[in-house]
């Protein structure tokens, strides 16, 4: 049992980690500004503090009031398209808030820090599956902002001894297998919920961005990792931090194209996904697939929901039962 701070813990991936911590009996404090998060995603018994991470004084007071064993940091601006329209906002806010949080942790003596990072660090990879040693060359400002944060954490380790884990994951998807929580963004940019919403009639027909990529069917290929498996990866790296800071890629190791995801939704849902074809989006690499071999070897992690149909099935169950999500927009 332990005490943990989770920023962005009312959001999609963060809330699934909070559930995992609460389910095993840990004490959790969630800090979330609720711009994208939901109070209903935070389980009973977990303290939710609505706070902008830019409020350094209040953040310091939280650290003074609790003795945390580690910080899990999910809160960030994370829309690729938006980052290409407003790159300076992404670089400034994501860097400032993340390193401000790390600074508060160091000053409070909390020396374990787990960052929700991104595969967007790799840009257009030279080879797939992508190992941790691959060249870091983001093609969008969101990825660049996360790379800047990782570099800052490296200095915090070098100078202050902050042990950090950067989990560079690919496309989070799916929902809690028990149906307690799921994905609810506005605007929604993730393919799986957009395809499901189109099939259910709760969203507009889907647009497929780009059909001329150098892939077998011409559409982008991504590595979809179940959100519950992501939460498990975050828990497993805590013990690994005792040996030093780490960077891991987290994915199923299998890539699926946009067309294959549409087909899976149609297969699971038993109805068509209305969609149209559109041009490419700026900053979208053709293929992003993870090599998670290092994470598996060093922590024993393995995806429980590695197959695309298993991921889509949990997402379909959530969205069909809660077509308006948490209903708090």
- Tell the CATH topology of 191-222+254-321: UDP-galactose 4-epimerase; domain 1 (3.90.25)
CB 229 within 8 Å of CB 274: no
Alpha-carbon Rg for the chain, nearest whole angstrom, is: 19
Check the CA dihedral 185-188-194-197 and report its sign: positive
Q: Is the pLDDT assigned to residue 226 strictly greater than 70?
A: yes
Q: Is the pLDDT assigned to residue 282 strictly greater than 90?
A: no
pLDDT value of position 80:
85
Q: Among 105, 98, 137, 106, which Cα is nearest to 119's? A: 137
Q: Is the pLDDT assigned to residue 18 strictly greater than 80?
A: yes
Q: What is the rounded average pLDDT of the residues 9-22?
A: 98
pLDDT value of position 61:
97
Q: Is the pLDDT assigned to residue 5 strictly greater than 70?
A: yes
Q: Is the pLDDT assigned to residue 34 strictly greater than 80?
A: yes
Classify residue 218 as left (phi > 0), alpha (psi -120 to 50) or beta.
left
Share above pLDDT 70 across residues of the chain, in percent, rounded to a whole number: 99
Convert the pLDDT of each residue in 122-177 to its tens digit: 988 888 899 999 999 998 999 999 999 999 999 999 999 999 999 999 899 999 99
Question: SS3 for 126-157, per residue?
Answer: CCCCECCCCCCCCCCHHHHHHHHHHHHHHHHH
Of the CA atoms within 13 Å of residue 240, those in its CB half-sphere come to 23
CB 171 within 8 Å of CB 191: yes
User: What phi, psi does 63 have (nearest 5°)?
Assistant: -65, -35
Q: Is the pLDDT assigned to residue 1 strictly greater than 90?
A: no
Joined together, the tokens standing for residue 275 give 């969609």
Beta-bridge mates of residue 168: 117, 249
Whether the link from the prior residue into 187 is cis, omega within 30° of 0, is yes
pLDDT value of position 329:
65
- Tell the CATH topology of 3-171+224-250: Rossmann fold (3.40.50)
Say if strands 221-226 and 255-257 run parallel, antiparallel, or are unpaired: antiparallel
CB 162 within 8 Å of CB 105: yes
Please tell me which residue in 12, 90, 142, 256 is annotated as part of the active site. 142
d(CA 312, CA 253): 17
Band the pLDDT of 283: cuts 50, 70, 90. low
Convert the pLDDT of each residue in 254-280 to its tens digit: 899 999 999 999 999 999 999 999 999
The burial of 198, by beta-carbon neighbours within 10 Å (0-12 exposed, 13-18 middle, 19 or more buried), is given as buried
Convert the pLDDT of each residue in 176-219 to its tens digit: 999 999 999 988 989 999 999 999 999 999 999 999 999 999 99
pLDDT value of position 136:
96
All structural domains of the chain with their residue ranges: 3-171+224-250, 191-222+254-321
Active site residue 142: yes
């Amino acid at each position: 049992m332990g005490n943990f701070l989770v920023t962005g813990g009312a959001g999609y991936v963060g809330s699934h980690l909070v559930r995992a911590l609460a389910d095993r009996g840990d004490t959790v404090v969630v800090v979330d500004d609720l711009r994208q998060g939901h109070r209903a995603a935070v389980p009973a018994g977990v303290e939710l503090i609505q706070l902008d991470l830019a409020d350094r004084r209040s953040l310091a007071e939280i650290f003074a009031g609790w003795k945390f064993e580690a910080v899990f940091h999910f809160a960030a601006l994370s829309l690729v398209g938006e980052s290409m329209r407003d790159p300076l906002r992404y670089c400034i806010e994501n860097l400032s808030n993340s390193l401000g949080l790390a600074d508060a942790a160091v000053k409070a003596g909390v020396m374990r820090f787990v960052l929700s990072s991104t595969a967007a660090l790799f840009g257009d990879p030279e080879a797939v599956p992508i190992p941790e040693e691959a060249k870091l060359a983001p093609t969008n400002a969101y990825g660049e902002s996360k790379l800047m944060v990782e570099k800052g954490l490296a200095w915090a380790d070098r100078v202050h001894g902050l042990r950090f884990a950067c989990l560079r994951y690919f496309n989070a998807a799916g929902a809690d297998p028990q149906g307690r929580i799921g994905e609810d963004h506005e605007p929604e940019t993730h393919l799986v919920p957009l395809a499901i919403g189109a099939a259910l009639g709760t969203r507009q027909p889907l647009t497929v961005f780009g059909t001329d990529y150098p892939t077998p069917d011409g559409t982008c290929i991504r590595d979809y990792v179940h959100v519950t498996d992501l939460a498990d990866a975050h828990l497993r790296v805590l013990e690994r931090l005792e040996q030093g800071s780490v960077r891991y890629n987290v994915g199923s190791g299998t890539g699926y194209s946009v067309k294959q995801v549409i087909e899976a939704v149609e297969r699971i849902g038993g109805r068509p996904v209305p969609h149209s074809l559109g041009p490419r989006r700026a900053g979208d690499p053709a293929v992003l697939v993870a090599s998670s071999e290092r994470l598996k070897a060093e922590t024993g992690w393995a995806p429980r929901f590695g197959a695309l149909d298993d991921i889509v099935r949990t997402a379909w169950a959530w969205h069909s039962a809660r077509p308006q999500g948490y209903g708090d927009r």
